[in-house]
Amino acid sequence: MDANGARSMIRRRNVDEIRLDELISSLHKGAKKVKSGTPSFYPADDIKKPLKSQAKSQAKNQTKLRKSITPGTVLIVLAGHFKGKKCVFLKQLDSGLLLVCGPYGINGVPVKRLNQRYAIATSTKVDVSKVDCKAFDDKYFKKPAKDRSAKSEDGFFAAPTARKELPAEYVAANKALDASVGAAIGAVPHLKEYMSSLFSLKSGDKPHEMVF
């Protein structure tokens, strides 16, 4: 190889090195800075962050009511203490639960909340347009907080206290609603006997083929 060929090869190498350096520098300039997972500063005092409110989440994710359940629909309870008994649907509460009433004077079902998963909607309807149930909401059914303070030795072995009676306002509101629903049921012939009867299945019955 002559001198001219050697010089041209050296020049090509220098040009390639310059281009490589320019490419690397451009990549470093365009690259985004990746933040490290650990913060570089820690506050001296703990900063409390507000948690997600359960009430707001319930308002956003409101439980949809089945089309077959409307105010005045007679429901059959499928689970719980009142399994097999019938009740009248009054309204849906903010929690998504159903406000129902037996009423207590007819079949022993008081004013209570019921999940629509555990209810069968029948084709029987009751006129509840004159029933006032505005005072009943989720707070109405909330139980008072129990006293969980530390008990002394004497208090631990003491005899249990007498059963607490329900507030007079609570009992009066239940009786008023029970009476108004009972009057609406009494206006329909033979509906009182139907509401007091207990729903049950016998051997050979096919509930998926029944029309309620």
pLDDT at 44: 76
CA angle 189, 193, 195 (to 5 degrees): 105
pLDDT at 11: 55
CATH code: domain 54-142+167-200 is 2.30.30.770
Q: What is this structure's pTM?
A: 0.64
Per-residue pLDDT of the chain in tens (212 residues, 90 and over written 9): 554 454 555 455 555 565 666 666 666 655 555 565 677 777 777 777 777 766 566 556 678 899 999 999 999 999 999 999 999 999 999 989 999 998 988 999 999 999 999 999 999 999 999 988 888 888 888 877 776 665 666 655 666 666 677 777 888 888 899 999 999 999 999 999 999 999 888 888 887 788 87
pLDDT at 209: 81
pLDDT at 121: 93
- Beta strands 98-101 and 112-114 are antiparallel
pLDDT at 3: 47
Instruction: Find out whether 139 and 121 touch, Cβ atoms under 8 Å.
Output: no
**CA nearest to 87, candidates 70, 64, 110:** 110
pLDDT at 89: 95
pLDDT at 49: 77
Torsion on CA atoms 173, 175, 179, 185, rounded to nearest 10: 100
Q: Is 46 left (phi over 0), alpha (psi -120 to 50) or beta?
A: beta
As a three-state string, the secondary structure of the chain is CCHHHHHHHHHHHHHHHHHHHHHHHHHHHHCCCCCCCCCCCCCCCCCCCCCCCHHHHHHHCCCCCCCCCCCCEEEEECCCCCCCCEEEEEEECCCCCEEEECCHHHHCCCCEEECHHHEEEEEEECCCCCCCCCCCCCHHHCCCCCCCCCCCHHHHCCCCCCCCCCCHHHHHHHHHHHHHHHHHHHCCCCHHHHHHCCCCCCCCCCHHHCCC
Instruction: Find out whether 75 and 89 touch, Cβ atoms under 8 Å.
Output: yes
- The full set of domain ranges for the chain reads 54-142+167-200
pLDDT at 164: 72
149: Cβ contacts below 8 Å, ≥ 6 apart = none
Instruction: Find out whether 136 and 173 touch, Cβ atoms under 8 Å.
Output: yes
Report residue 69 as tokens: 């359940």
